[in-house]
Structure 1
């Protein structure tokens, strides 16, 4: 039994170390530009909502600010993060161009409802409402 004790201790250490590697950290979001590739709830096809340019979002953990494009107009907003819980402040539009397709409004209305997030096994960012994916983003930078 004495000879098995070091082996058991090493196995216990390895198992506990592996269990902690899947935790999502703020660094998983910050400094990365994410581009929308799915949005829920619209009756219009994704390409119809965003015929020219897809929304993008970039998180800055130093200022708790997100910025990006809601399709054709830029925006920024504050965000709060607590584990996998996330909330966004009221987005402020930084440009005032006319946008076709209705996608910008769909994006801004949906992001206000988001309350949690996850990064899936394909490294896509899922913004969710009560665990249901409402928006999905892929890394582009």
Structure 2
């Protein structure tokens, strides 16, 4: 009996995955890219003024987030809901000192977000209706 249930489960997963190629799921868009920060609290960030690089975020299908805060690497957890809600928690990072980094502000805003909007080339993390962090796919 267990073999029949397992075969049915695999078939059900395969059938739900065979929907129209045009209907891309938000989770697929979220996990398909390494995202690089383009603005924080409405202000554009410039790679030239951040000598250690711009903050990045990668989301995987196991609900883990990781990246570079502009100086230190970090990782944590996230969850999504059907209404566009996102919670990012348990952020841990290395503790190197980097002068002139926007990392502290980045981590502060990352901890505030509770909504996400995602399009093919843009990820916006918001607190309510306020844009906090905007990302583009890293080149």
TM range (shorter): 0.7 to 0.9
The answer (yes or no) to whether the contact 2:42–2:131 under 8 Å persists in 1 is no
Give the equivalent residue in structure 2 for 1:17. Answer: none
For the residue of structure 2 that corresponds to 1:34, the secondary structure is strand
After TM superposition, where is structure 1 displaced by more than 2 Å over at least 4 residues in a row? 45-52
**Do the aligned partners of residues 126 and 98 (structure 1) sit closer, same or farther apart at CA in structure 2, a change above 3 Å counting?**
same
1:128, 1:50 → 2: CA distance?
23
1:31, 1:123 → 2: CA distance?
11
**Do the aligned partners of residues 50 and 24 (structure 1) sit closer, same or farther apart at CA in structure 2, a change above 3 Å counting?**
farther
1:100, 1:49 → 2: CA distance?
11
Q: Deviations over 1:87-117 (max 9, x none)?
A: 1003100x32211224110000000000001
Q: Does 1:53 align with 2:53?
A: yes
Runs of at least 5 residues in structure 1 that lack an aligned partner in the other structure: 1-19
Give the equivalent residue in structure 2 for 1:98. Answer: 97
State TM-score, norm by structure 2: 0.73
Give the equivalent residue in structure 2 for 1:75. Answer: 74
The answer (yes or no) to whether the contact 1:72–1:97 under 8 Å persists in 2 is yes
Runs of at least 5 residues in structure 2 that lack an aligned partner in the other structure: 1-21
